[in-house]
Amino acid sequence: MNPIRLAFLLFVAMPLARLFTGADVVDRQRLPAKGPAIIAANHNSHVDTLLLLTIFPLAALGRLRPVAAADYFLKGPMIGWFSRRIIGIVPIVRGGPAAGTNEDVLAPAREALARGDIIIIFPEGTRGDASDAMGRLKAGVARLAEAFPQAPVIPVWLEGAGRVLPKGTLVPVPMNCTVLVGEPLAWCGERTAFIDRLRAALLDLKAKAPPQHWIEDEDPKAA
């Protein structure tokens, strides 16, 4: 693993995630230790990626690859270097194949899975608002599950991260968050049915999430 990336995750990302989210992870043992595997999570904030990169065991860190929009994370040489080398993104082009081409926008994600990586994907395709409401799931995650039926798809619900750094804001606000890890889903043979199962699994995790509160409101005298 890139030593600079490892140092960033251990000494920057993890302390920041702990400071701003105080995240509790429910059923952490369901997270895969190796790939190929697909983490499918809801998406309300850039904190989501930071949080997901910090909840895996040390042995898995070198295999974690967040799927991210190329137009946003590769828009400049410095941002592009940091996104690829430090965050470890799998860049994809949003909006489908380029006009007049047969480009497979999921090819980088397929290549990562073929290498045995653990990819992190947000099936909604874009960030929602701070309400933690879930948008419509796109078919990309089903296409990847179909291409790699041996790769488990693990639903993950992030509760509260959208309030730490809502879309359109720059300054994070510390808040207790919860990460709920669901049972792995196997490819079922049909894309629409798989998306329906994934959505149901995510909503089931959301229903189990505890109420969130601001970190500064914690009572240090509590037992």
Name the residue among 4, 171, 173, 155 with its Cα closest to residue 87: 4
| pLDDT tens column, 40-65 | 999 888 889 999 999 998 889 999 99
Average confidence (pLDDT) over 178-199: 96
Both tokens of residue 140? Answer: 């990309």
Assess whether pLDDT exceeds 60 at residue 129.
Answer: no
CATH topology of domain 3-217: Glycerol-3-phosphate (1)-acyltransferase (3.40.1130)
Cα 11 to its chain centre, rounded Å, is 20
pLDDT of residue 223: 37
Find the mean pLDDT for residues 108-120: 97
**Facing residues of 185 across strands?**
153
Distance CA 8, CA 135 (A): 31
Please, is 171 exposed, middle or buried when counting C-beta atoms within 10 Å of its C-beta (0-12, 13-18, 19+)? exposed
CA distances from 22 to 31, 70, 213 (A): 19, 30, 11
